[in-house]
Chains A and B, each alone.
Chain A
Amino acid sequence: MSKKLRAAIIGPGNIGTDLLMKAMRSDWIEPVWMVGIEESEGIKRARDFGMKVSTNGVDGLVPSMKEDNIQIVFDATSAYVHAENSRKVVEQGAIMIDLTPAAIGPFCVPPVNLEELLKEGRKDNVNMVTCGGQATIPMVAAVSQVQEVEYGEIVATVASKSIGPGTRKNIDEFTRTTAGAIEQVGGAAKGKAIIVCNPAEPPLMMRDTIHCLTKDEPNQDAITESVHRMVKEVQKYVPGYRLINGPIFDGKRVTVFVEVEGLGDFLPTYSGNLDIMTAAGLRTAEMYAEAMANGDISSTATA
């Protein structure tokens, strides 16, 4: 029996398709189903890749989940439908990796807290925060691992073309969820998130500025080393994650500038914001698969 975990992806849009292309290369995940709510380009692409498809939402997937041994489901739809999707697939014994900002389950930013989550055992639902969160929270954590951070603030600038209608309609979900995760995962006492959208042509690469205000004078050497170490951790699953300036120190302010270039699987390389999301989601699923294969966590839901 293959050690690969069989997976379904809900949401055949840009994110879902990019995730599918990454998952098809995975040693640990085998994508089997793509779930949409109607016939669409995304469904057609998934069918061409040999996926089973549902055009009837999650209800079209649920009856086959046991038979097809679907153990991982990714949700790349929207925060508003996520809760229902999650309930239905968890009932069938799968782990839900949530790529929406719904944040029902615990936040997961792989290089910061995935190991800890795995130690806690099986989870029904893990949330991948937001694209801005995936790109910046590792840097907040890199500082807070050295010393107390009273305030963490991130500014994510993304190309207009890389932000879909769902995110635009619910931009507050982005700011709120990211700010919450800067605190809960990044380790800042207080978090703030700002997103700026730039329509320039050619589209600009995702860039993020991370500001931390430390409680005491920053330990410059230790923070610099920690930031460089964390950048390498992120690069393990997002090779185009780059430190472009900093850390710079100005009193108790520590500022780091990063740029995120995507792999260009389905999405263009400038949309590093989307790439880091799909890469983080897949990375999380792979680590669960590995932990299950090693018997570290249960491969079946505890009823």
Chain B
Amino acid sequence: MDLKGKKITLHDMCLRDGMHPKQHQISIDEMIDIAVALDESGVPLIEVTHGDGLGGASVNYGFPAASDEAYLDAVIPKMKNAKISALLLPGIGTVDHLKMAAGIGVTTIRVATHCTEADFSEQHIGLASEMGLDTVGFLMMAHMISAEALLEQALLMESYGANCIYCTDSAGYMLPHQVTERIALLRSKLKPETELGFHGHHNMALGVANSLAAIEAGANRIDGSAAGLGAGAGNTPLEVLATVLDRMEVETGVNIFKLMAVAEEKIVPLMDNIVRVDRDSLTLGYAGVYSSFLLFAQRASAKYGVPSQDILLEMARLKAVGGQEDLIEHVAMEMAKAKK
């Protein structure tokens, strides 16, 4: 594989996707400290807020240590070079959140829908694009549909005004050839100026390999997270990816030793549990389950006395999509009843 000379934008997730394993409890001071260190490492784009994006604060997904507004207000003024992005899931957040985030200085808005439901994003992508923001359409659980079906949805988001489309492997299910197939088709059919991105989860330990496949097929934005802090077995570990890309002579603008230090000295000590591939997170990847279901399944397992792995497999059987965290407790209760 020859990626030499390609220019890639790395996008760090540890202060947004990383909120999942932290149960949304990263403090404002920790956010500032980490974001500043990522900025100094040359990471150009950093996502901040609740794990489920703007407006995610809820019983269903968890209440965060601080509001989206407070996090953005604290982090954005501290950035020297890095830009701050925010995620918005229509159905959870609204254009009011989008306006608030843009008002504080977020420059990239990523509007996320389940991979078959792009038309929920028209309002939000349209507005973000009108406001002149870097506007990303983020198609989640992209493993659940074919490359052709994904293309249809990507074309919708592009038509609403998105200047970048993501193939999002929310379950960490994809194998490298599946990434290649999807990104290559998007690359051949979307406008040449539309950027392509890949967001991986490391549930099958394929975060780095899948990101390389995505780059080879035409993606130029790649999500990762320092020390992999993210839902499930985490995101693609950003310092690992950056190091591999450095060896492959891909231009990222990131100082890999500084980024390694952020991961080692700031992120790993922050972890409540080591974020890694284990039985449950591997099950997410194997069965294609939304990565942020992990802790919910483990809590329901403890409360109702059914194995978390079985809960996750049942969620896969029910074809649950992102956002259905509320189904987990119900499923655990039903399994507990059936056991009696």
Contact = CB atoms under 8 A, between A and B. Distances in A.
Given A245-B330, A255-B329, A209 B60 contact: yes
B237 interface: no
B120 A171 contact: yes
A134 interface: no
Contacts of B120: 168, 171, 197
B63 to A, nearest CB: 10
Contacts of B92: 175, 194
Given A153-B59, A171-B90, A160 B116 contact: yes
A195 B59 contact: no
B319 A160 contact: no
Contacts of A196: 91, 321-324
Contacts of B95: 172
Interface string B314-326: 0000111111101
B119 A169 contact: yes
User: DSSP class of A's interface residues: helix, strand, loop or mixed?
Assistant: strand
A153 B60 contact: yes
B94 A175 contact: yes
Chain B interface residue number, banded = 20 to 34
Given A175-B91, A194-B60, A199 B321 contact: yes
Interface residues of A, number: 33
Contacts of A160: 116-117
B59 A211 contact: yes
A157 B327 contact: yes
B47 interface: no
Interface string B83-94: 000000011101
Interface of B: 58-60, 90-92, 94-96, 114, 116-117, 119-120, 122-124, 318-324, 326-327, 329-330, 333-334
13 contacts: A155-B60, A157-B323, A168-B120, A171-B91, A174-B91, A192-B58, A197-B114, A198-B319, A200-B318, A209-B60, A209-B326, A211-B59, A245-B333
Q: What are the 6 closest A-B residue pairs judged by CB atoms, nearest first?
A: A209-B326, A200-B319, A196-B323, A211-B59, A172-B94, A195-B91
